[in-house]
Structure 1
Amino acid sequence: MSTPDTKPKESQNGKQTVVVSEKKKNAKLCAGRETYERMNFLYQAATTMSATQPQLAAYYGKLMKSVGKKAVLRMEPAIKRTLCVRCGVLLNPGITADIQDYRHKKLCYLQVDCMLCGFSKRFYNTKNHHLWMDNPQSVVERMEFA
């Protein structure tokens, strides 16, 4: 039995060998590719709708988080930072979020307030503060989708 992606071949000793196409090989390399593609689509939809319909953008953001959580896939931290933790709306400065820069004696941070639900996030930007994901030791494997 052969599928469109596989082609049986007869070898010289009479045994059949199956040659798997490149498409099938690439699918095996990334287990959650379809889920990542769906999450990407939902993020793009949330980006498009955030200016005109913030409630719909919040729904898309929450749906994206739940799809990733169900498939046990991690989101890129840069994408996570653009979404509200409570309601899931995309945080666009001036449209769906207020941004203030606070500078105290030793503590400097950027505070992002969601206009939809009122939740606020703080991103610290002191000289000694480094994110773990920016460290080269944190990256084990990088997958590129073509």
Structure 2
Amino acid sequence: MSGKNKGFQGKDSFSRMNFLYQASMLMAGKSDTLSAYYGNLCKSIGKKSVLRIDPNIKRSLCKKCHMALKPGVTADVSAVDCKKEIFSIKCKKCNHSKNFPINLDYKFWLENPDSIAEVCSLEKEKLTKKRKKATVSKDAP
């Protein structure tokens, strides 16, 4: 083995998905078709490399047209049923609506400590690279 820590599986796919999601959120309201295209690319990369997308990111993309949903800009938010505590997000581009229950005690499975098998951090790799650069620059005349 080379002894190098290669990180985790799908690291480049996650970084590409992160970039496309940020680009989709940035273009929302300015260019809706471009926002939908970036959102579609983000979801298709996740499907192709069999990676799970965080539920908060899934909620912020339209299921039908894949556009980034920003309340007031590209989506309308309204309370559907006050007794059952349900709110709705409606996409302005395709008029698709999603309903979400409001339960303050609910936790996603991913937020449960039992669901975590391994934690990988990218910060350690960045720190070691900075340290190597610092030692090289100190040795130089």
The aligned residue for residue 108 of structure 2 is 131
Q: Does 1:74 align with 2:82?
A: no
Give, in angstroms, the shift of residue 143 of structure 1. 2.4
Task: Sort the Cα spacing of 1:71 and 1:127 in 2 relative to 1 into closer, same or farther, 3 A.
Answer: closer
Secondary structure of the equivalent of 1:111? Answer: strand
The aligned residue for residue 35 of structure 1 is 13
Counterpart residue identity of residue 46, structure 1: S
For 1:52, which of 27, 30, 37 is the aligned residue?
A: 30
Counterpart residue identity of residue 18, structure 2: N
| 1:50-81 per-position Cα deviation (integer Å, ceiling 9, x unaligned) | 12001110000001000110000111111111
Counterpart residue identity of residue 87, structure 2: L
Give, in angstroms, the shift of residue 122 of structure 1. 1.0
- Which one has more relative contact order, counting CA pairs under 8 Å at least 6 apart? 2
Give, in angstroms, the shift of residue 87 of structure 1. 0.7
Q: How does 1:1-146 map to 2 (within 5 A)?
A: 19-20=2-3, 24-25=4-5, 27=6, 29-105=7-83, 107-126=84-103, 129-146=106-123
Q: Distance in 1 between matches of 2:36 and 2:105?
A: 34
Number of aligned residue pairs: 123
Q: Identity of aligned pairs, percent? A: 40
Q: Distance in 1 between matches of 2:107 and 2:12?
A: 32
- Range moving further from structure 2, 38-47 or 133-142: 133-142
Q: TM-score, normalised by structure 1?
A: 0.76
Q: Which of the pair has more CA radius of gyration?
A: 1
Counterpart residue identity of residue 76, structure 1: D
RMSD: 1.8
- Range moving further from structure 2, 133-142 or 74-83: 133-142
Q: TM-score, normalised by structure 2?
A: 0.78
- Provide structure 2 residue ranges, at least 5 long, that are not aligned to the other structure: 124-141
- Which has a greater percent of helix? 2
Task: Sort the Cα spacing of 1:129 and 1:103 in 2 relative to 1 into closer, same or farther, 3 A.
Answer: farther
Q: Distance in 2 between matches of 1:42 and 1:68?
A: 11
